[in-house]
Amino acid sequence: MSERAASTTEAACVVFDIGELVVGPSTDDSSETPLEIRENAAVAAVDGEVVAVGSSEDVTREYPPENAETAIDAEGRAVVPGFVDPHTHAVFAGDRSDEFEAKLRGAEYQEILEEGGGILRTVRATREASDDDLLANLTGHLETMLAHGTTTVEVKSGYGLDTETELRLLEAIDRADDAQPIDLVPTFMGAHAVPEEQDTEEYVDAVVEEQLPAVADQGIARFCDVFCEEGVFDVEQSRRVLEAGAEHGLTPKVHAEEFTRLGGAQLAADLEAASADHLLHAAEDDIDALVDSGVVPVLLPGTAFGLGEAYADARAFLEAGAPVALATDFNPNCHSRSMGFAQTLGAVEMGMTPAEALLASTHNAALALDLDDGTGTLREGAPADAVVLEAPSYVHVAYRFDTPAVDGVLKAGEVVHG
Ligand SMILES: N=CN[C@@H](CCC(=O)O)C(=O)O
Ligand SMILES: [Zn+2]
């Protein structure tokens, strides 16, 4: 036994007798699957980090379960890295279920927005909500996400559209980060829509000159995002916001080519954004530009499903060598908090294999958030965030689409669900 093990064994969390352990992306080019998978495995964690991954026999010899603070006998079930959801708008108030009905009767998403509904309706409800109500709404959604196996979530502001409310939303994200187990990654998205009281140019000025400096001053956002779309922010306005964000230390992200091909993907490539998201209308040139500049494509199949739109071309991205990520896009227009369901849609509707969908929901999703600490893997040194499945194989994540195939969830080596 190593000295490190002798001195730390008692603090360890050990999950043993794992039938199928998904460690992370495969490093073997000749492998048929993009995942590194170990059978009859175990994983041990100390101080929230993975310290050993290997055969159940070897790991339990070094970290005996009987000495561990938390010991889980997986009894042959599969264990995968905790899911990372890299695109949500989870902090808001109000209800838009009637718009869902209107869309089923033929109303268009953008028409609803132009008429003051959609995002603008959520903005009115959000501005009226108290800080505590916003926090309670957000933590409620996060509880559901955790039960579905998600351990890291990006959350955007963007239903305030004024300095005071945008800051309140980012503060709610900050408070929620402390109040529950999921790690939250905050994104400032003042440029989500143009508020009813201003015209677009005036509003872009307000985002750049007032909102961004205030957000940067508080130090409560990591990314800056913009809805680059016909009728919302054009490419030049989007560029202005993202460049100003970058000057304040916020890494760009772009809502790109969702309803029209406006140029958001090329902009994301130009600015070396962390990700370009949606991409339903991305063309081959856009895909190449994103791959060449290392921008992660984040695909949001729940949105296409809910709107009845054609899905993004996941296969074209994968064939171009892109590290495709999946996300829920949870928002009042896309009421799904399940990364498992995103994987089902990725597999059934976008032609991804269950392994590609799982990789897209773990390691690649972490790349979209610039997380380089091993998040989304269960390699040594990574955060010990894991899902013990209720099944013998990771394939059950995409296969089951009624309830999550989750038996238990570990965050930083502690059982936080199940
Ligand atoms: N497309 C822009 N923003 C969200 C939708 C927000 C809303 O409709 O409230 C999205 O990513 O899908
Ligand atoms: Zn979005």
Tens of each residue's pLDDT in the chain, 418 residues: 344 444 456 658 999 999 999 999 999 989 889 999 999 999 999 999 999 999 999 999 999 999 999 999 999 999 999 999 999 999 999 999 999 999 999 999 999 999 999 999 999 999 999 999 999 999 999 999 999 999 999 999 999 999 999 999 999 999 999 999 999 999 999 999 999 999 999 999 999 999 999 999 999 999 999 999 999 999 999 999 999 999 999 999 999 999 999 999 999 999 999 999 999 999 999 999 999 999 999 999 999 999 999 999 999 999 999 999 999 999 999 999 999 999 999 999 999 999 999 999 999 999 999 999 999 999 999 999 999 999 999 999 999 999 999 999 999 999 999 9
Question: Are 122 and 93 contacting, i.e. CB atoms less than 8 angstroms apart?
Answer: yes
Ligand 1 site, residue 23, Cβ cutoff 6 A:
no
Is any atom of ligand 1 closer than 6 Å to the C-beta of 187? no
- For ligand 1, whether the C-beta of 257 sits within 6 Å is no
Cβ atoms of residues 283 and 306 within 8 Å: no
Assess whether 76 and 201 both reside in one domain: no
191 and 202 part of one domain: yes
Sequential DSSP letters for 30-94? T-SSSEEEEEEEEEEEETTEEEEEEEHHHHHHHS-GGGSSEEEE-TT-EEEEPEEE--------S
Residues 14 and 114 both lie in one domain: no
Task: Give the integer Cα–Cα distance in Å for 311 and 309.
Answer: 6
Strands 183-191 and 150-156: parallel
In a domain, 372, yes or no: no
Same domain, 57 and 175: no
The CATH number linked to 313 is: 3.20.20.140
Question: Could you tell me where the DSSP H helices lie in 152-296?
Answer: 163-179, 200-206, 212-218, 235-247, 264-270, 284-292
Pairing of strands 35-46, 49-55: antiparallel
Question: 255 is in which domain, residue-wise?
Answer: 84-367
For ligand 1, atom 2, which residue shows the shortest CA distance? Answer: 227
Strand order in the sheet with 223-227: 83-85, 150-156, 183-191, 223-227, 251-256, 275-278, 296-299, 325-326
264 plus 210 within the same structural domain = yes
Is 192 among the annotated ligand-binding positions?
Answer: yes
Q: Is residue 139 part of a domain?
A: yes
Task: Assess whether 407 and 277 both reside in one domain.
Answer: no
367 close to ligand 1 (CB < 6 Angstrom)? no
To test ligand 1's pocket by mutation, which of 333, 334, 337 has the most ligand atoms within 8 angstroms of CB?
333
Out of 367, 387, 402, a domain closes at 367
- The residues that bridge with 13 in the sheet, in sequence order, are 45, 70
The torsion angles phi and psi of 226, rounded to 5 degrees, stand at -145, 145
Amino acid found at 123: V
Q: Are strands 414-417 and 251-256 parallel, antiparallel or unpaired?
A: unpaired
149 & 69 share domain: no
pTM for this model (two decimals): 0.97
Is the beta carbon of 158 within 6 A of some atom in ligand 1?
A: no
Residues 181 and 205 in one domain: yes
Q: At what angle do helices 163-179 and 119-128 cross, to 10 degrees?
A: 80
- Token pair belonging to 67: 């000495």
CA–centroid distance, residue 329 to ligand 2 (Å): 6
Closest atom of ligand 1 to CA, residue 303:
12
In a domain, 297, yes or no: yes
- Map tokens 């199949």 to a residue: 301
* CB of residue 118 inside a 6 A radius of ligand 1: yes
Interface pTM, i.e. ipTM: 0.97
208, two tokens: 């750049």
The answer to whether 63 is annotated as binding is no
Q: Residue 228 CA: which ligand is closest? A: 1
Number of domains in the chain: 2
3 state SS of 283:
coil
